[in-house]
Structure 1
Amino acid sequence: MQTANEKIINVQELEPRLRHQTIFDVFNTLVEGEHLVIHNNHDPMPVYYQLMNLRGNIFSWEYLQKGPEWWDIKVTRQVPVVPTERQDDVILNIPEIEPQQKHALIFKVFEMLKPGGTFIIHNNHDPRPVYHQLQAMHGDVFTWEYLQQGPQWWDIRISRKSEEVK
């Protein structure tokens, strides 16, 4: 049974060109612990990968029903809303990543950034050693801005500086 404030997206009722964007727009309204349900006539796994690419690993993806006629997926926002978070921010939820992969993922995401691009590290302690590693690897090509400094969460926006015009 649907409650009055439950967010269910019946994908088949939407114009095809609006389907994925509608899901992303509704997801962006969620706060920690809230969820939406995607109701579709096929497995919407491409949406999972797009959402992961757009926002990082800040959500859970739970199949409530897996076909053959209908798929229902519960998408829950896991990371608290980060101060000054924008809808296009990629947020790396570091505590959810395997320990041996944490720094490598941060460096990979940074290396993929275009000049002017940003992402947010969401962590349960100050990741200052990453700052020094990035500086040793890439030099002075990034900015490091604390959005939140503990005691529970540290949120840092890392930006690749725009290329200088010569």
Structure 2
Amino acid sequence: MSRPPAGEVVDGVLDLRELPKVERHPAVFTAYDELAVGESLVLVNDHDPVNLRDQLERDYGTGFGWEYLSEEVPEYRIRLTKNASTPLPRVLADTTEIASGTGERGLGGAVFSLRMRERDLDSNVIALEPGGAIAEHWGPDVDVLVHVLAGSGHLDTETGVVDLAPGVLLWLPRRSRRAFRAGPQGLRYLTVHRRREALVLQASRPPGAP
């Protein structure tokens, strides 16, 4: 009798042990997405898949059930249940806490990002240390909404300067030229824009620009 192909659900069981590690999580997500609400499948793995559970929480919130049936190497068994038809609304972060770190030296870049697999938006919290800057560049081909959380600074545009302070809601039209400069207390701001594979900042003039 031939064995079923690795990664297929057989009689409600998905055995991950014969799959390469890079294929295990995608196989679980595919099988989970095919479940109806209230249905379950049993995962079999050679270790406790805690990283998988973290990724499920990232993508679906608390809309799934996770029950250990066996916790012995090399055969961990977990019943995974679909409790909601879609990922659930949930709190991702407390921006008050994120803002409280403003002014830290040596910390820059994204300190928060959306990481769900299936989403229409990208969002980040960008941190600039005191006196830090993002050099002048042409923005990508997406509109970006910016909400200043903490600190202070300036946005340089083609014709002037916009003061940045907590509470400012800023619109960055697609492909517009801009540069950010943090004040003496540093700067932290939230960005939201349509999802794209990579948000590329162009130092040179974009194609077709006047």
Provide the TM-score with structure 2 as the length reference: 0.41
Partner of 2:153 in structure 1? none
1:115-160 CA distances to partner (integer Å, 9 max, x unpaired)? 9517xxxxxxxxxxxxxxxxxx78698xxxxxxxxxxxxxxxxxx5
- Quote the residue 2:30 is aligned against: 25
C-alpha contact 1:65 1:71 (8 A) present in aligned 2: yes
> Distance in 2 between the 1:113 and 1:14 partners?
28
Q: 1:66 to 1:116 in 2, by over 3 A?
A: closer
Count of paired positions = 108
Contact 1:58 1:93 in 2 (8 A): no
State the alpha-carbon separation in 2 of the partners of residues 67 and 41 from structure 1: 8
- Alignment-derived partner of residue 12 in structure 1: 17
Q: Structure 1 pair 139/30, CA: closer, same or farther in 2 (3 Å)? A: farther
Tell me, in whole angstroms, the C-alpha distance in 1 between the residues paired with 2:168 and 2:81.
Answer: 35
Q: In angstroms, what is the RMSD of aligned CA positions?
A: 3.7
Q: Aligned match of 1:47 in 38, 48, 52?
A: 52
1:15, CA displacement in angstroms? 2.5
Equivalent in the alignment of 2:83:
78
Counterpart of 2:88 in 1: which secondary structure?
strand
Alignment of 1:128-143 (within 5 A): none
Query: How big is the shift at 1:161?
Result: 4.4
Distance 1:106 1:161 in 2: 17
Report the identity percentage.
25
Q: Give the aligned partner of residue 62 of structure 1.
A: 67
Provide Cα deviations, 1:86-119, integer angstroms capped at 9, x if missing partner.
Answer: xxxxx2256xxxxxxxxxx16659x84499517x
Who is 1:125 aligned against?
A: none
Structure with the higher helix share, 1 or 2: 1
* Residue equivalent to 2:121: 117
Matching of residue 92 in structure 1 with residue 88 in structure 2? yes
SS class of match (1:71)? strand
Q: Are the structure 2 counterparts of residues 24 and 138 from structure 1 closer, same or farther at C-alpha, using a change threshold of 3 Å?
A: farther
The structure with more radius of gyration? 2
Whole-angstrom CA distance in 2 between matches of 1:19 and 1:26: 11
* CA displacement at 1:75 relative to structure 2: 0.5
How far residue 49 of structure 1 moved from its aligned partner, in angstroms, is 0.5
Q: 1:30 to 1:138 in 2, by over 3 A?
A: farther
* More strand, by proportion: 2
The letter of the residue matching 2:63 is: I
Q: 2-side partners of 1:27 and 1:43: how far apart?
A: 18
The equivalent of 1:147 in structure 2 is none
